[in-house]
Chains A and B, each alone.
Chain A
Amino acid sequence: MAVANNELEKVIIQSVLEELAKKGLLPSKGKDHVMSSAMQDTPLYSNTSSEEMVTFPPLDEMQISKPFNADAVKAMKKSTPARIGIGRAGARPKTMSWLRFLADHAVAQDAVFLDVSDEFLKQNNLMTVQSAVTSKDEFLTRPDLGRRLSEEAVKTITEKCEKNVQVQILVVDGLSSTAIEANIPDLLPALMQGLKSAGIKVGAPFFVKYGRVWVQDPIANLVKADVIVSLIGERPGLGTAESLSAYMIYQPNEKTVEADRTVVSNIHKGGIPPAEAGAHLSDVVQQILTAKASGVKFNQQK
């Protein structure tokens, strides 16, 4: 998990250092800056064109200074993703485990608080509509508004989307913009291709900003689709911020409840890889169309 984040961690640390340098908090050129004894001889900042950069040591590196049984520590670390065997400075964490924790939290927070970029949406041909939410703060504190569409969204969908399709796919930011940007480029084409080769009529996918799972219900009614698939960013953990879920619903109405939705979660490169997930989802959608039901009712028919 954290190993998979290594590249991201590097980028984050580099950009933090650059910011600090800009603010004059670090020497911007000249002598190497030494952070701590643990990192001696490691240049903290030289210049941006250099290939050298600071990063975290491998997770399996021994952090306990004099382990009683080093093999046992190694075996224990393999048995759990929990942060064990990380050593200490006094009773406090060592510098590297503290900074690694900060980096993991930073990645998670950025996934929640940063938006999916306009450039990304353009590259992936996704039209954008917005829920009834007007800001990120409101999105987080008013789940009710994230389930509804703005008036403008209703108008856009009514005017621009194809109606009476069998399947409509939505890309929804939810709680992780990172999950969208990391998975959609592989996931969406695989899913579209699977459905199209099965001869299923699919509307052009579009993006819902500040959306919650339930926003699929009013959209289903506007485009008159049999099945709506929402590809939505999950709440990030410290382990990964890239996890995405697919929520599928067959012909929702005002009586629809949580249990009527079919969910496939844990889609990310460390879980169900996105391309594989696309193929799998295409199968599930076809089964839902045949069963004319989703969620618990769908499971009972299987």
Chain B
Amino acid sequence: MILKAKVYSKIFAFKSLKEVMAKANEEKSGDELVGIAATSASERVAAKLVLSNLTLEDIYNNPVIPYEEDEVTRAIYDGLNLRIYQEIKSWTVGHLREYILEHKTSGDDLAHISRGLTSEMIAAVAKLMSTMDLVYGSKKMRIHSHCNTTLGVPGTLAFRCQPNHPTDNVEGILAAMKEGLSYGSGDAVIGINPVEDNVETVTRLLEMVKNFMTKWEIPTQNCVLAHVTTQMKAIEKGAPVDLVFQSIAGTQKANDAFGVNAAILDEAFDLIQRKGTATGPNLMYFETGQGSEVSLDAHLGVDMMTLESRTYGYARKYHPFMTNNVSGFIGPETIYSGREVLRADLEDLFMGKLHGLPMGIAPCYTNHMKMDQNDQEMGTLLCAMAGSNFFMGVAGGDDVMLSYQDTSFHDDASTREILGLRPLPEFEKWLEKMGILENGLLTERAGDPSIFDK
């Protein structure tokens, strides 16, 4: 394993693969906070050069966190198809990049080698890619999943309607949900973040959404994004749950801080298959984000991007219906600017897809970052071009419960129009029946929440 590189007259030597992985990253404040980022532009390129020459076998033999010490590492290695890995282990990371980009390599080809790639290999190749590389590679991969409806159908773009309320007020949530639906948002899921993490609140919100879905015959899924154990208690008590949600991270230590581990997720996955309300087979919903391990002081000296990739490796065991990042939500100490968020969003989309996950993106930001709505909208359009399966839908882009900004109902409808994308097929039929959409365009009636109030 050669860990030394010469960039013109300067020689750079690295001590470990872990160091190379960190220093090959584009600039992000979290890697700098931890003290593992490249200290010069030349060193960054030297790390990329070293990485491009390493083989997939080198990476396989040097997991950034040992197998014995970390459950996430074990999930990644235990889930690997060793036969496929053997076929490609002699490839360099540089070769893998070119293979992904080649015209003759199809989405199916990528889905095949995906089974033989560890999360560190996937992170490594993304570190060699530019913005357009990431969009180009991501666009090839189209990952389907099915809960009540099918997500990821070519030519579609779906949205999670996210009608959060600062006090979980049912009327307020209902109002924002109607607003979202009237803009065509909500085909991925109607997913609410509750303020109160308890069985009563979660059950009340699940029932409210489910009843509304039944009354208006809306083809979608419901989900309340409480802690997984709260949702499990609600399911046991008979609450109607289509999708079970959990936030996850790329180290066992960070997942411990989230109060989750493989045993709990296994149990949740088993429970939703036996007692959930949805068709399936994909019944889980995960959220992730670069920097969560840093903010929990659980990064173990590994860079944020590699940890994010490991999170996807952890998720794929559960065949989720949907997975999305919230990298822009964590804060400026991990991702500082609009530029850093855009990069992270494209990396996450690419890495998630190469893991075979039905990825969506939350191109979001908080008010203490150097980012604004213009950056956010650039991120949304780039990720849509790269074939993100879905985005969020928040009233006016302002989440009044979580205090951050994400894609608005307006952005959702606009992105579909700009790129000629349609809602998921069953949902589009429903929108047409409701008179909200016609030939893929909003009608006169659209954007009015009172169409549900006769």
| Chain A interface (Cβ < 8 Å from any Cβ of B) | 64, 66-70, 72-73, 76-77, 79-88, 90-93, 97, 101-102, 104-105, 108-109, 111-112, 140-144, 175, 235-239, 241
- Measured CB to CB, the residues of B under 8 A from A are 29, 32-33, 163-166, 169, 171-176, 178-179, 183, 332-333, 336, 366-369, 372-373, 395-398, 400, 403, 405, 408, 410, 413-414, 417, 442, 444-451, 453-454
**A79 contacts B396, CB within 8 Å?**
no
Chain B residues with CB under 8 Å of A79's CB are 169, 171-172, 174-175
- Cα distance, A141 to B335, chains bound together (Å): 9
The minimal Cβ–Cβ distance linking B75 to chain A, given in whole angstroms, is 30
A91 and B414: CB pair below 8 A?
A: yes
What is the CA–CA distance of A112 and B371 in the complex, to the nearest angstrom?
A: 12
CB<8 Å pairs between A and B, sample of 30: A64-B448, A64-B450, A69-B454, A72-B449, A72-B450, A76-B175, A80-B169, A80-B176, A82-B164, A82-B172, A82-B176, A82-B179, A84-B176, A88-B442, A90-B414, A91-B183, A91-B410, A91-B442, A92-B414, A93-B408, A101-B397, A104-B398, A105-B372, A112-B367, A141-B29, A141-B33, A175-B368, A236-B367, A237-B403, A239-B403
Q: Which residues on the A side are within 8 Å of B367 (C-beta)?
A: 105, 108-109, 111-112, 235-238, 241
Distance A91 CA – B414 CA, assembled complex (angstroms): 5
Quick one: given A83-B396, A141-B29, are A101 and B373 in contact (CB under 8 Å)?
yes
**Complex: A230 Cα to B389 Cα, angstroms:** 45
Chain B residues whose CB sits within 8 angstroms of the CB of A239 once the complex forms:
400, 403
Do B175 and A81 touch (CB < 8 A)? no
The reply to whether B453 and A142 contact each other, CB–CB distance below 8 Å, is: no
A69 touching B450 in the complex, CB below 8 Å, given contacts A93-B408, A237-B367, A238-B398: yes
Q: How far, in whole Å, are A69 and B175 apart by their CA atoms in the complex? A: 13
- The answer to whether B396 and A86 touch across the interface, beta carbons within 8 angstroms, is yes
**Contact across chains for B333 and A69 when beta carbons are under 8 A apart:** no
A-B contact count (CB 8 A): 142
Nearest chain B CB to A175 CB, angstrom units: 5
Chain B residue at minimal CB-CB distance from A102: B373
Assembled-state Cα–Cα distance A77/B286 (Å): 31
Q: How far is the CB of B448 from chain A (nearest CB, A)?
A: 5
Interface secondary structure of A, over-half rule = loop
Q: Are B448 and A67 in contact (CB under 8 A)?
A: yes
B336/A87 in contact, CB under 8 A: no
CA distance A198 to B413 in the complex (A): 60
Known contacts A91-B413, A141-B33; A76/B396 CB under 8 A: no
Q: Contacts of B408 on A, CB cut-off 8 Å?
A: 83, 93
Chain A residues closer than 8 Å to B171, beta-carbon distance: 76, 79-80
Instruction: List B contacts of A144 (CB < 8 A).
Output: 33
Nearest Cβ on chain B to A17's Cβ, whole angstroms: 20
Give the chain B neighbours of A73 by CB distance below 8 A: 448-450
Which residues of the other chain, B, contact A77 by a CB distance below 8 angstroms? 175
Closest B residue to A80 by CB, please name it. Answer: B172
Closest to B412 in A: A91
Task: Give the residues in chain B near A143, CB-CB below 8 Å.
Answer: 333
Residue of chain B at shortest CB distance from A100: B396
Contact B33 A91 (CB under 8 A): no
Expressed in whole angstroms, the minimum distance between the Cβ of B83 and any Cβ of chain A is 45
Q: How far is the CB of B26 from chain A (nearest CB, A)?
A: 16
Closest to A107 in B: B367
**Bound: A104/B398 CA distance, A:** 10
Please state if A68 and B396 are interface contacts (CB–CB under 8 Å). no
Q: Which residue of A lies closest to B184 (CB)?
A: A91
A68, B166: Cβ atoms closer than 8 Å? no
A212: shortest Cβ distance to chain B, in Å?
Answer: 11
B400 touches A82 (CB 8 A): yes
Report the bound CA distance from A112 to B373 in whole Å: 17
Residues on A with C-beta less than 8 A from B366 are: 235
- Which residues of chain B come closer than 8 Å to A105, judged between CB atoms? 367, 372-373, 405
Contacts of B405 in A (CB 8 A): 105, 238
Contact in complex: B451, A68 (CB < 8 Å): yes
**In the complex, A66→B447 CA distance in Å?**
10
B336 / chain A contacts, CB cutoff of 8 Å: 140-141
Is B410's CB under 8 angstroms from A82's CB?
no
- B436–chain A nearest beta-carbon distance, Å: 11
For the complex formed, measure the closest distance between the CB of B397 and the CB atoms of chain A, giving whole angstroms: 7
B332 / chain A contacts, CB cutoff of 8 Å:
140-141
**In the complex the two chains form, is A140's CB within 8 Å of B368's CB?**
yes
Q: A72 contacts which chain B residues (CB < 8 A)?
A: 449-450, 453
Q: Given known contacts A64-B447, A236-B368, what 8 new A-B pairs fall within 8 Å (CB)? A: A72-B450, A80-B172, A84-B176, A91-B410, A101-B397, A111-B367, A235-B403, A238-B400
A141 cross-chain contacts in B, Cβ below 8 A? 29, 32-33, 332-333, 336
Residues A82 and B163 in contact, CB atoms below 8 Å apart: yes
Most chain B beta-carbon neighbours within 10 Å: one of A72, A108, A144, A239: A72
Closest to B332 in A: A140
Q: Determine the residue in chain A with the shortest Cβ distance to B404.
A: A237
- B368, A235: Cβ atoms under 8 Å? yes
Judging by beta carbons under 8 Å apart, are B396 and A93 in contact?
yes
- Nearest chain A CB to B170 CB, angstrom units: 9
